[in-house]
Amino acid sequence: MTVTATTNQNTILTSTTGGAVRVTCATNVGQGNGGISLPCKGCWVSTLSSSTEPTRVNIGAAASAILGVQVPEGPTGSPLWIPIDDVSKLYFYSGGASDVIDIMYIL
């Protein structure tokens, strides 16, 4: 087990670095980090409370109105945890043509 010297935490399960990106759906679809590779250990995904329609996410292929997992609407829903190695592998579909998805990733 790998541990840090200061927090005694398993570094495979915890992280002290990461970041956030935002995806704005263009004509109902979007891709994590605009399709540009962004390696990570995993992501939390949520939509804005102002989103007009349900949003779906898929890994490695386009999401659609019937394909993918529904993303909880923030702030009423908890963010969706997705264990993935690259933010750009996330594909989104929203019934709202310009809805916004927030992604927080850990490294």
Q: Per-residue confidence of the chain (107 residues) as pLDDT tens digits? A: 455 555 666 666 677 799 999 999 988 999 999 999 999 999 999 998 777 788 999 999 999 999 999 998 766 678 999 999 999 999 999 988 788 999 999 99
Say what the pTM is.
Answer: 0.84
User: What kind and span of H or E run contains 105?
Assistant: strand 100-106
- Please state the domain extents for the chain: 23-106
> Tokens 């935002």 map to which residue?
22
Which residues, in sequence order, are CB contacts of 9 under 8 Å at separation 6+? 3
Neighbour order of strands in the sheet with 69-71: 29-31, 90-94, 55-59, 69-71
Count H helices and E strands in the chain, helices first.
0, 8
For 18: left if phi > 0, alpha if psi spans -120 to 50, otherwise beta; the answer is: left
